[in-house]
Amino acid sequence: MNRPSIVILCPKEFRFTDHAATVERPFIDDVAELTTVWLDFNAPIPAEVLKAHALILWHGPLITAAVIAQMPHCQAIIRNGVGFDTVDIAAAAQAGIPVCNVPDYGTEEVADHALALTLALYRQLFPLDLEAKQLGWKINVAPKMRRLRTQTFGIIGLGRIGTAAALRAKAFGFRVIFYDPFAPTGTHKAIGVERVHSLEDLLKQADTVSIHCPLSTTTRAMIGADQIARMKPGSFLVNTARGDIVEKAAVFAALNRGHLAGAGLDVVEAEPLRTAAEAATPNLIVTCHAAFCSPEGMVEMRSTSAKIARAAVTGQPVWNRVN
């Protein structure tokens, strides 16, 4: 009797996983055949993927409605990560295919990264590092350095990562506010932060705006020129969520004219940066969509995806379903 097929689909540009799938294999080998497929981002989806009974999908290849229509055996699509914007979840639901994600694997890492970017901006770490390596210093950026206890840290999206970031910001002495229309009533009381009821109110009050919401039709380009204009002059913007939530041209323009004092971006629209001019934007810190990274987090993510795939092909209930 043929065993079900589980395929790990990974973009060629980023070797996130080993071809042997050493983390996933112990959870799958006794119930299914496991294959790793490397694919260029815009390449056609190969037949072995279309025939899969479960698909573990790394960020990259798009699983559109047309692709889903060609997957007659698929019992689950598992996004190896938090975001699931590369999958047409409505088409999958219509086809009876659960789409699952791994929402909690990088909670600590992403929250840590958001605060690391924030502290680097407040304490001017990179300009000070550059100045110190000139074999002498005058501390030219001293007027830009601020006491954290005088500052308001504004969070957009108080899910797992947003909550973790809020608690870290509180520990550093920030006044913490958040905007999230989906957070249950009383959330602010549970973790001891302040709730505001509109994005505009948060933008007006915050000295730092830190983004922790998912990318969706509602949040795409949610932060553009109009929203940045409502932020305080001299404020900071931090994004460790998804690049397409923020219009990068608006951020770069605000940095160039000095309205924003700095930005810390782990993700950017149409990433990576495309031009030398973008890279030369003043008071900009950019990291490589790496906020989620740690050996521990990667093992946790891959193990969870493998367990969900195993449940799908053995007829057990799946979890973390997003559609």
| pLDDT score for 229 | 98
Q: What is the CATH number of the domain that holds 54?
A: 3.40.50.720
| pLDDT score for 17 | 74
| pLDDT score for 16 | 66
Percent over 70 (pLDDT), the chain: 99
Distance CA 264, CA 120 (A): 8
| pLDDT score for 258 | 97
Nearest partner of 289 among 135, 137, 145, 113, judged by Cα: 113
Mean pLDDT across the chain: 95
Whole-structure pTM value: 0.87
77 lies in the same domain as 140:
no
207 lies in the same domain as 255:
yes
Kindly report, residue by residue over 69-91, the tens digit of the pLDDT: 999 999 999 999 888 989 999 99
80 lies in the same domain as 127:
no
Kindly report, residue by residue over 200-215, the tens digit of the pLDDT: 999 999 999 999 999 9
Indicate the SS3 state at residue 285: strand
Catalytic residue list: 242, 271, 289
| pLDDT score for 15 | 64
Domain membership of residue 305 (yes or no) is: yes
Domain membership of residue 165 (yes or no) is: yes
Distance CA 155, CA 178 (A): 4
46 lies in the same domain as 137:
no
Segment 126-152 mean pLDDT: 95
Nearest partner of 264 among 232, 288, 244, judged by Cα: 288
| pLDDT score for 1 | 56
Kindly report, residue by residue over 276-312, the tens digit of the pLDDT: 999 999 999 999 999 999 999 999 999 999 999 999 9
101 lies in the same domain as 177:
no
207 lies in the same domain as 247:
yes
Domain membership of residue 22 (yes or no) is: yes
10-24, 64-78, 238-252, 295-309: lowest mean pLDDT where? 10-24
